[in-house]
């Protein structure tokens, strides 16, 4: 594992990324959030476009780089999310395809089939919260579909990125949110703008998240059904 320089197909610029080894496979880290570096994820569109933080620690890789990486001709990518609670529980979610659109599409999120052990939060814990196919939002670029939308407490919200203090693929505002404010143990319950995977736990903010992607053989068959697997 470490920082590598990559040159995606069809792109004239090289990029630095952090590659994490899982067995014999190198995964590119696109997001890491654990509170250790106290990194502020409440950034504007340009910051989320180009990336911020320390590649070897907490960071957001950058929408421009993620788009270049996941749109290479003849290549397909999976998405993997590692999540840890303050109780020490660790879960995962894997998506059989992953790519995002270009800036003109607001870096729209595209996901394949889900496999994991605590629910597909990207597609929602209930109601109209499917974040797949949604554009990215920041406090200065609103693509969240709220006009307004209502939380479980019947509180109206018009701008998820502003109320939740971070950029993400929001939809009313959604059940998966990994760029929220990090809260220490003891003050991590029932917070707006926190780090959530609500199909696992709807009220407790998470201790850490790592979001990764890797290239796989284009002939590999993806998951045909959304499902949970217990580990």
Q: Are 64 and 52 in contact (CB under 8 A)?
A: no
Q: What is the largest CA-CA distance in the chain?
A: 48
Q: What pTM did the predictor assign? A: 0.87
Is residue 221 situated within a structural domain?
Answer: no
Domain holding 135, by residue range, is 2-216
CATH number, domain containing residue 14:
3.90.215.10
Is residue 228 situated within a structural domain?
Answer: no
Is residue 223 situated within a structural domain?
Answer: no
Is residue 74 situated within a structural domain?
Answer: yes
Q: What are the tens digits of pLDDT across the range 6-42?
A: 999 988 889 999 999 888 888 999 999 988 878 999 9
How far is residue 114's CA from residue 112's CA, in Å, rounded to a whole number?
7
Greater confidence (201 vs 100) lies with 100
Transcribe 81-101 into DSSP letters: EEEE-TTS-EEEEEES-EEE-
Is residue 151 situated within a structural domain?
Answer: yes
Is residue 222 situated within a structural domain?
Answer: no
Which pair of tokens denotes residue 165? 């203090």
Q: How many domains does the chain have?
A: 1
Place of tokens 């476009």: 49
Residue 195 predicted with pLDDT over 80: yes
Is residue 225 situated within a structural domain?
Answer: no
Kind and range of the H or E element at 157? strand 156-157
DSSP 190: S
Kind and range of the H or E element at 213? strand 208-216
Residue 230 predicted with pLDDT over 50: no
């Amino acid at each position: 594992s470490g920082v590598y320089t990559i040159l995606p197909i069809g792109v004239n610029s090289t990029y630095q990324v952090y590659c994490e080894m899982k067995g014999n496979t190198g995964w590119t880290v696109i997001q890491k959030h654990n509170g250790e570096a106290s990194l502020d994820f409440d950034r504007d569109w340009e910051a989320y476009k180009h990336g911020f933080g320390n590649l070897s620690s907490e960071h957001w890789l950058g929408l421009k780089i993620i788009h270049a990486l996941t749109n290479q001709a003849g290549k397909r990518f999976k998405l993997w999310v590692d999540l840890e609670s303050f109780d020490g529980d660790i879960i995962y979610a894997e998506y059989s395809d992953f790519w995002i659109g270009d800036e003109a599409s607001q870096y729209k999120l595209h996901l394949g089939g889900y496999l994991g052990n605590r629910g597909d939060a990207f597609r929602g814990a209930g109601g109209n919260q499917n974040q797949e196919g949604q554009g990215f939002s920041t406090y200065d670029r609103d693509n969240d579909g709220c006009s307004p939308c209502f939380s479980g407490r019947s509180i109206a919200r018009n701008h998820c990125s502003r109320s939740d203090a971070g950029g993400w693929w929001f939809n009313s505002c959604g059940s998966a949110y990994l760029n929220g404010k990090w809260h220490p143990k003891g003050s991590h319950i029932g917070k707006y703008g926190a780090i959530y995977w609500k199909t696992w736990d709807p009220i407790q903010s998470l201790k850490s998240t790592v979001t990764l992607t890797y290239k796989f053989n284009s002939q590999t068959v993806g998951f045909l059904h959304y499902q949970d697997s217990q580990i």
